[in-house]
Structure 1
C-alpha cells in the first residue's frame, strides 16, 4: 500500500471521528467510545458482554475500557455483573437508561456520519478515498 493512501485514510478517519465525538458530546453528553459501547451492549444477547469482550469489540485496551465502563456506570447507563460460573469474569450490562440514551443518540450519529462523509467527499485530498469507499459499499 502506498503511504499516501494510508495517510489519507488516517486523515479521513480522524475528521469523521472528531465530528462524531463532538456531536454526541454536545447533544447527548456521551463520547464516541461510550456510544460505541452502548451500541455493542444494546445488540448483545441479554444486553451484556464481558468487559474484555467489549474492549475487543470497540478497540480499547483493558485500562481504557475499565475507565469507560466506570463512566457509563456512574451515569447509570450500565451496571456491572459477575459471571456466575467464573467469579473473576465481570460483565457490563446495559440499563434501561443506557438503551434510551443509545436510541436518542443513534439518529445524531447517523446524520453526523453522513454529513462528515459528504464534507469529506468535496475535499480534494479525501474525496477520491470517499468515492472509492462508497463505490465498494453495497446498497441497503
Structure 2
C-alpha cells in the first residue's frame, strides 16, 4: 500500500478515535485536552506548565487556557515555584482526581470501541 494511502487510513482512524473520545468525555463535562492534562497530573501530582504542555503534546498557549478552565472548575491549582518565581506549577486537586477517575472509564471504553485490535 502506498505511503499516502497508509497516511489517509491512519488519519481517518485518528479522527474516529478523537470523535469517540470527545463524545465519551462530554458526559463528564471535559474535553480531550482537559482530560489529557488531568491524566498527566493524576499520575505525577503536579508539573511545571512547560513540561505539562510537552507531556500532553499541546501548544503552551492551549495548555495554559485549558489549565485556567480546569482551575476555574476547581479541578486544578496553580502556584509559583519557590526556587524560581518565574516558574508556574499546576497540581491536581482532590476533585480533579475524582473527575479524572470517573472519566477514565469512558475514555478507555471509547478507545476500546474505536481502535483496531492487534
TM above 0.5, yes or no, is yes
Q: Which runs of 5+ in 2 are unaligned?
A: none
Q: Which runs of 5+ in 1 are unaligned?
A: 118-129, 135-140
Question: What CA deviation, in whole Å up to 9, does each residue of 1:89-126 have, x standing for no partner?
Answer: 00111000000000111111111111122xxxxxxxxx
Structure 1 residue 39, shift from structure 2 partner: 0.5
How many residues are treated as equivalent by the alignment? Answer: 117
Q: Would you identify which runs of 4 or more consecutive aligned residues in structure 1 move more than 6 Å?
A: none
Per the alignment, residue 48 of structure 2 pairs with 50
Per the alignment, residue 112 of structure 1 pairs with 110
Question: What CA deviation, in whole Å up to 9, does each residue of 1:44-99 have, x standing for no partner?
Answer: 1xx10011111001111111111011011011000101111100000111000000
Root mean square deviation of aligned Cα:
1.1
SS state of the match for residue 30, structure 2?
Answer: coil
Structure 1 residue 23, shift from structure 2 partner: 1.1
TM-score (ref. length: structure 1):
0.80
Q: 2:92 is matched with which residue: 91, 94, 115?
A: 94
CA distance in 1, matches of 2:102, 2:92: 15
Per the alignment, residue 34 of structure 2 pairs with 34
Answer yes or no: is 1:3 the counterpart of 2:4. yes
TM-score (ref. length: structure 2):
0.94
